[in-house]
Every structure is written in structure tokens, then in C-alpha cells.
Amino acid sequence: MKRLMITTALALVVSAGTAAAQTTVKIGVLTDMSSLYADLAGPGSVTAARMAANEFMANNKDFKVEIISGDHQNKPDIGSNIANQWYDVEKVDLIVDTPNSGVALAVNEITRNKNKVFINSGAASSDLTGPKCSPNTVHWTYDTWMLANGTGKAIVKTGGDSWFFLTADYAFGHALERDTAAVVEKNGGKVVGKVRHPLNVQDFSSFLLQAQSSKAKVIGLANAGGDTINSVKQAAEFGITKGGQNLAGLLVFASDVNSLGLKNAQGLILTETWYWDLNDGSREWTKRWQKERNAAGKIPSMVQAGVYAGVTHYLKAVAALKSAADGKAVVAKMKEIPTDDPLFGKGTVRADGRKIHDAYLFEVKSEKESKYPGDFYKTRATIPAAEAFRPLKDGSCPLVSG
Amino acid sequence: MFEIFGIPSQALFGQLLIGLINGSFYAVLSLGLAVIFGMLNIINFSHGAQYMMGAFCAFFLLHYAGLNYWAALVLAPIAVGFTGILVERAFLQWLYKLDHLYGLLLTFGLALIIEGVFRNYFGASGLPYAVPESLQGGINLGFMFLPIYRAWVIGFSLVVCLATWFIIERTRLGGYLRAATENPTLVRSFGINVPRMITLTYGFGVGLAALAGVMAAPIYNVSPQMGADLIIVVFAVVVIGGMGSIMGAIVTGFGLGIIEGLTKVFFPEASNTVIFVIMAIVLLIRPAGLFGRAA
């Protein structure tokens, strides 16, 4: 009897000990699991978040990080429902990823109201760190201003001074068109026309014909995913590039190049902040990601890399504060400590929530130049971190001016 | 050169032609749906998934068996049509006596499963498929640049549509088929194997979807999504034309392609809703559709 009591008491002490020492952090990966962005984010982002969590837990035994995921189906109402439920019922501390600017802007507001943390990697709208900036949001990987600044400027400088836009008719497309048009005009080019197409269209020939008859030198594709793939494929078919007009893919991911095939995609100029074949660190990470994801042939996108790096930095901030409870405090800490990870290197999170790092201007290789599967890009230029993103004062973010 | 509503006539002719090309996809797809609904009374919601399977089949044949586009044009519809026959034998044959809703739910569920499986194995962003070499390039028509492949699509679809119409409306086989749907017991008493005929008809309808998929592979992105994006529009086309009407499906397919094409010029933002607006108007004025007979 005595012995039993001692054992029970011991067991209680031990279990109480672990319960008190372990802080649980819950991370929700809110993403597109089944539609046009599922390859560049989706399950691959969940893998990236899990890798960051496992690495962190290996070094910080007193933390327990849980990862859950949800499919927002590219609908802001569904995304908002999941976010509310996660924060209120599931006690999620951080929502991460969230491609689709429409959904991201909705989650941005919910996160602010509930004082949690939102690290966006997949959405592009520069409004997330502009007029809609929030003390609870960090925008990690890229944004429309940076894409416009990279690709737009490079093309205008090499003589592409008249533009026609093919724009996806929602928050993201409008932001990308607006930011690119500003860059084009600032560098002495002009915008001769535009056409706004609905999201997820199959046939672009009608829009391409309008672009063709505009006689613009450059056709700017302010769209993404399947829409970009279909535009590029059909532009080749209608002899647009052969006729002397150039295509500017304003947001092109490695997964898009893969499904276009190098034959259709070669020569495209695009801007990204991360590429799997960039350096040893990213190649090594890609191998681990492929193993974890159980997909040897798949290539991670910059969005997935951003999820990994964002979660890693978030957990550092949580470890420093020893708590994830106060979202605003965690984000403030994230801005205070410098970032350092194998994918984006050393960097900072700015006052408006913008993560700052280098960007790269790539050109898609031709079939001949490509040596192995996934060998897609050659680097045309590196845009240093200080120039890659919108200057703090130009964003009209209330956190900065007020 | 004259102008119509501020659009140069040249651009307008180009847009009309493009509308006609898109219309040919609508026509072939809605034709398959109309055949299946008219003969089997099944609303085939997996039609989009079967169209997607056709495109993927073309991709597989090229990359794993080295068979080109022309072989795919024949083999893919047969292969996908065969899966249709299996589905009909395994599931659909038990549903003919029940309400339309059961067939609709079954085929809708199947579509979700098929798309999910393809997405799992091939990802969401799709696979490349090139235009066959003999159809590359284009002709300058003066008012527009017409890719040869698109010209081929329009011609071939017209032939397929008219041949199908002819078989069903003008031959003895089609006569049996139409009679079998009116009164299966009577037709069976003449010694005709009605269930087998129905099975083959479903297989044929599915084969038409796969054929459209093969035609689409070189110009649209071959992705698991491709059918889901298109199928709702095609259903609207069928409803406007009149459910089950063969000629109705063909004529409205081409007609709505043109209307959609023109909307892309005058008011591009509305280009994917215009068909549904027309559908609402048609349903208000002629509930049985433009070519349908009131039940």
C-alpha cells in the first residue's frame, strides 16, 4: 500500500512537472489545399511549417508546437470562418501562409481583433503592409510592389516602354496592376490599355487579341497560377511573342514554369525572393522538404520557403517571451530581433510588418540550357534588400505615420 | 474600315471567330451531356471530370507510350468511354427508375473523387502538352492571326457534332435508341438488347467528353481543375438549348461561344456571368429551353 502511494505521488510530481514546463503553441496553416494555388502553397506549406516546428522543438524541449491545417477554397467567407473558429475554439496562436489576397485581407482584420499573429507568405497584395497594415501581421515572402519593382523596372529599362495589362479581376490583380503601372510610368514608360478578366478563365485568346491589337511592346500578366499558365500558353499559340511583343509574367512561380514546360516558358522574366537552386542552404533544405513531403520530384516554391522561415522566426520570438498569448507583443519581438534562417539569410522585419530580404530577377532557361529536372532559372540580377521593397514612408501604413 | 460601337470591324471579326472556336468546345461537351440526358435521363455531373481524364489520357499516351496527338484522339475517348461503361454497369444502371437527383448526386460525387485523385498524384498546377507539329503555326487572315490548331478544332468539332446528330436523329440505330427511351419494354419485345444499348450510349457520351479533353490539351492547361471550371458553363448551355435536345446543344454551344466572345470585348468583367444571365432570361421566357419540348 505504502509503495503504491509513493509511486502515485511520484507519478503526479512527474506529470505536474512536465505540464508546468511545457508551453503549447498552436499554429494553423490556412491555405488553398485543392485549387489553383495548391501546388505553390497547400500541403507543401504544411510540410514547411511542420519542419520549422520540429526543428524548434528539438532545441527547445519545454515547448510543444502543434500544427493544424485548413482549406479556405479561395473564398474570403470560408477563410474568415476557419480563422474565427481556430482562434476562438481551437486556441490557435498563429495563422500562417494564406495565398489569395482576398482571404488574406480578411484574416488580417480578424487577427488584429483577436490579438493573435498572422504571418502571410502566399498572398501578394502590398496593402497588407500599406493602408491595411496591422501590429499583428508580418508579410514575409513577397508583395505586388516588389514584383512590379523587380520585373517592371527591368523590362522598361531594356526598352519595353509601352504596356498592356491582362489583369485578374480581384484584389490581387488590381494591386499588381496598380503597382506595376506606377513603376512603368515612373521609369518613363506608358500604359496603353488593360483588360480585366475573371479569376480562373480557360480561354485567354480574346483578351490576347485585344492586347495584340493595342500594339503595346509588353503585355503584363497581372494574374497568377492557372491563369498565368493559360495566358502564356495561348500567347505562344497566337504568335504574340513571335510578332515582337513580349510577355511579362508579373507573378510566376517555379511550379507554373514546370507545368508550362520550358518550351513555352523560356525567356520569361520574373522576380522571386527564393529559388530552390539558389545556394547550398536552399538545396539542402529542398532535399529535406522533399523527403518530408514524400515527393522526390516536387520543387518547393518561395511561398513554402517563406512559411518555413516565418514560423522559425515566430517561434524564436515566442521562446524569447516564453509565451505566445499576446499577439502584439510577439510581433513586436519579431520586429526587434533580427531574422536569420538558411533560406532567406539575415534580414529584418520592418515597423509596418514587411519582412526585408533580397529579391532576384530570373530568366527562364531554354530546354537546351536546362541540365536537370527543376533547373529552370538563370539569375539576371540580384535586387538588394534595401531596394527590393517599398520604402517605409510610401506605404501609408498608419503604424508608421501615427 | 468601319467601326461598330467604337470597336474596329477587324477586331470584331477576330473576336467572332474566337467565340466560335470556344463555342465548339461547348458544343462537343454539351452534346455529350444532351445525349446522356436525352437517352438515359441521367444528369451527368462527372462530365467535366471525364473531359479532364481525356486530356490527361492524351498526356499519358504521349509521355509513357510515346503515342502522339492523333493516336490520342482515337484512343483516349475509347479508354475513357470504357471507364464510363464500367461506371454505368456498376452504379448508374440501378438509378434509372429513381428520381433524377440520385443520378446527379452519384455523378457529382464521382467527379469530386476523380478530381481529388488526379490532384493528389499530379498536383494542381497541371502538365504541359504541346500542339502537334503538323498543326503548329498560323495563318494571317488579314483581320487576325488564326492558329492552325484552332482552325482544326472548329472544323473537327463541327464534323463530330453533325455526325452525332445524324446517327441519333436520322439512322435506324438512333431510331431504336430513341424508341428504347420512350418505351423500353416494347423495344425489348422486338428482340433488341436495350440495357446494352443504354450502356454503350453512356460510354459514347463520356467518350465525347474525353474527345473534347484531347482537343483542349494543347491549348488549355492540362490540370485536374480544367473540367470543374468548364462544366458549370456547359450545363448552362444545355439548359438554354433544352435538356436532351441534340440540335439544341450544338446550336447553343456555338451561339453562346460567340456571345461570350463579344462580351470579352465590350465588358470583359462580365464574361463569365453573361451565359448565366442568358440562362435566366431563357428560363423565364421558355422554361423548356430554346429547342426543348415542353414536357
The tens digit of pLDDT for each residue in A107-146 reads 999 999 999 999 999 999 999 999 999 999 999 999 999 9
Angle at A369 between CA A365 and CA A370, to 5 degrees: 75
Chain B residue whose CA is closest to A299: B123
- Chain A residues with CB-CB distance to B265 below 8 A: 206, 210
Q: Is pLDDT of B260 > 70?
A: yes
- Chain B residues with CB-CB distance to A224 below 8 A: none
Q: With respect to residue A400, please indicate whether it lies within any of the assigned structural domains.
A: no
Distance from CA of A218 to the nearest CA of B (A): 18
Distance from CA of A60 to the nearest CA of B (A): 34
The structure's pTM equals 0.83
Cβ–Cβ < 8 Å for A92, A75: no
Helix residue ranges per DSSP H, B92-225: 100-122, 148-170, 172-182, 184-189, 194-216
pLDDT at residue A359, as a whole number: 95
pLDDT cut 70: percent of chain B above it: 96
Q: What integer is the mean pLDDT of A278-293?
A: 95
Give the domain range for residue A370.
145-272+359-388
Same domain, yes or no, for A201 and A242?
yes
Same domain, yes or no, for A80 and A120?
yes
CA distance A279 to A8: 54
Same domain, yes or no, for A250 and A378?
yes
Across all residues in chain A, what is the average pLDDT? 91
If one counts the domains in chain A, the total is 2
pLDDT at residue A266, as a whole number: 87
Same domain, yes or no, for A308 and A330?
yes
Q: Is pLDDT of A226 > 90?
A: no
Q: What integer is the mean pLDDT of A248-266?
A: 90
- Interface mutation vs chain B, best among A233, A251, A252, most B CBs within 10 Å: A233
pLDDT cut 90: percent of chain B above it: 53
Same domain, yes or no, for A232 and A322?
no
Q: Which residues contact B63 (CB under 8 A, 6 or more apart)?
A: none
Collapse the DSSP code of A362 into the 3-class scheme (helix H, G, I; strand E, B; otherwise coil) and give the result: strand
pLDDT at residue B180, as a whole number: 85
The closest CB to that of B124, out of A36, A205, A264, belongs to: A36
Q: Is pLDDT of A210 > 50?
A: yes
pLDDT at residue B7, as a whole number: 66
Cβ–Cβ < 8 Å for B122, B210: no
Q: What integer is the mean pLDDT of A143-165?
A: 92
Element (H, E) at A383: strand A377-383
CATH of the domain at A351: 3.40.50.2300
Q: With respect to residue A237, please indicate whether it lies within any of the assigned structural domains.
A: yes
**Domains in chain B: boundaries:** 19-124+150-285
pLDDT confidence bin for A83, thresholds 50/70/90: very high
Do B124 and A256 make contact, defined as CB atoms within 8 angstroms? Answer: no
Distance from CA of A46 to the nearest CA of B (A): 15
Chain A residues with CB within 8 Å of chain B CB: 34-40, 42, 169, 195-198, 200-203, 205-207, 209-210, 212-213, 225-226, 229-230, 233-234, 237-239, 243, 255-256, 258-261, 263-264, 298
Cβ–Cβ < 8 Å for B273, B45: no
pLDDT confidence bin for A17, thresholds 50/70/90: very low
Q: Is pLDDT of A19 > 50?
A: no
pLDDT confidence bin for A324, thresholds 50/70/90: very high
pLDDT at residue A200, as a whole number: 81
Q: With respect to residue A5, please indicate whether it lies within any of the assigned structural domains.
A: no
Q: What is the ipTM, given to two decimal places?
A: 0.83
CA distance A25 to A92: 8
Rounded to an integer, what is the distance from CA A114 to the centroid of its chain? 23
Cβ–Cβ < 8 Å for B249, B37: no
CA distance A181 to A64: 46
Q: With respect to residue A176, please indicate whether it lies within any of the assigned structural domains.
A: yes
pLDDT at residue B14, as a whole number: 80
Same domain, yes or no, for A182 and A236?
yes
> In the A/B pair of chains, how many CB contacts fall below 8 A?
120
The C-alpha cell 481529388 sits at B116
The closest CB to that of B124, out of A35, A197, A233, belongs to: A35
- Residue at A344: amino acid letter: F
Cβ–Cβ < 8 Å for B160, B32: no
Query: Residue A308 to residues A41, A300, B33: CA-CA distances in angstroms?
Result: 11, 11, 46
CA end-to-end span of chain A, whole Å?
Answer: 68
Q: With respect to residue A290, please indicate whether it lies within any of the assigned structural domains.
A: yes
Same domain, yes or no, for A298 and A251?
no
pLDDT at residue B3, as a whole number: 63
Q: With respect to residue A49, please indicate whether it lies within any of the assigned structural domains.
A: yes
CA distance A187 to B253: 46
pLDDT at residue A2, as a whole number: 59
Q: Is pLDDT of B41 > 90?
A: no
Give per-residue pLDDT as tens, A46-67: 999 999 999 999 999 999 999 9
Q: With respect to residue A234, please indicate whether it lies within any of the assigned structural domains.
A: yes
Partner A contacted by B54 (CB < 8 A): no
Q: Which three cell numbers stand for residue A330?
A: 510577439
Give per-residue pLDDT as tens, A37-51: 888 999 999 999 999
Same domain, yes or no, for A250 and A323?
no
Same domain, yes or no, for A368 and A287?
no
pLDDT at residue B283, as a whole number: 92
The C-alpha cell 520569361 sits at A268
Same domain, yes or no, for A138 and A149?
no
Do A202 and B15 make contact, defined as CB atoms within 8 angstroms? Answer: no
DSSP A121: -
- Of A19, A49, A21, A2, the C-alpha closest to A304 is A49
- Chain A residues with CB-CB distance to B126 below 8 A: 226, 229, 259
pLDDT at residue A342, as a whole number: 93
What are residue A43's DSSP bridge partners?
none
The C-alpha cell 448508374 sits at B92
Do B220 and A40 make contact, defined as CB atoms within 8 angstroms? Answer: no
Angle between helices A205-213 and B9-40 (to 10 degrees): 180
Give per-residue pLDDT as tens, B148-187: 999 999 999 999 999 999 998 899 988 888 888 888 888 8
Same domain, yes or no, for A268 and A365?
yes
CA distance B276 to B237: 9
The closest CB to that of A259, out of B125, B138, B145, belongs to: B125
